[in-house]
A and B are shown apart, each in its own frame.
Chain A
Amino acid sequence: NAGVTQTPKFRVLKTGQSMTLLCAQDMNHEYMYWYRQDPGMGLRLIHYSVGEGTTAKGEVPDGYNVSRLKKQNFLLGLESAAPSQTSVYFCASSYNRGGAGNTIYFGEGSWLTVV
């Protein structure tokens, strides 16, 4: 019953450092997403992927890169972290496109602080 798993759960970075957040899902979902959650802003889509080997930009992609080399994994990279990237990051996945019953499953979040 793992569902969507994110690592690490907590991380503190210095400005300019790089890091990668890993998302893994065991539901054989085609679609995967990375969101960030900031106070008073709701969730905003950073990047998403519609299948292995594909990625696409969301609402707020600047400063992030992603890769989907394996269907079950979706990596979010910060090449040069900035304090504005302090946020809670959520990974999500869904089976395919369309339909109300196409539930999007979320991970438990990764808390990132950039100092």
Chain B
Amino acid sequence: GEDVEQSLFLSVREGDSSVINCTYTDSSSTYLYWYKQEPGAGLQLLTYIFSNMDMKQDQRLTVLLNKKDKHLSLRIADTQTGDSAIYFCAERRGYNTDKLIFGTGTRLQVFP
């Protein structure tokens, strides 16, 4: 995860929006992903974006991609306590690979 970086913690109030940021360094990224990990569980794919897109919306989730700055963000609208988890961004480099490079993870804490 050394080439994909995230801030470690984010704390938000229930009902507010959360924005989780991710930066990466490799310009050959083709797809970028957001995974959610709840305590004691594996990783669950939330959403992904193709590298030639700059935005993707999926219900409460909005992904923004700034390819020039190599910056990816995940916005969660109307954050709920059930959204408390660790969020990982991951990049796929190239097309002929299934290997993902994961970020360090951001722990989102939602308080009432």
A binds B: yes
Residue numbers in B under 8 Å from A45 (CB-CB) = 99-100
Contact count band on B: 20 to 34
Minimum Cβ distance to chain A for residue B81 (Å): 22
> Does chain B have a CB within 8 A of A106?
yes
Beyond A108-B40, A109-B42, whether A41 also contacts B96 by CB under 8 A is no
Are B98 and A31 in touch, CB under 8 angstroms? yes
Residue numbers in B under 8 Å from A92 (CB-CB) = 42-43
Residue numbers in A under 8 Å from B50 (CB-CB) = 100
**Cα distance, A97 to B96, chains bound together (Å):** 6
Residue numbers in B under 8 Å from A108 (CB-CB) = 40-42
Minimum Cβ distance to chain B for residue A34 (Å): 12
Residue of B nearest to A107 (CB): B42
Residue numbers in B under 8 Å from A100 (CB-CB) = 31, 48, 50
Nearest 8 A/B pairs, CB to CB: A42-B1, A106-B42, A42-B102, A43-B102, A106-B43, A42-B104, A100-B31, A108-B42
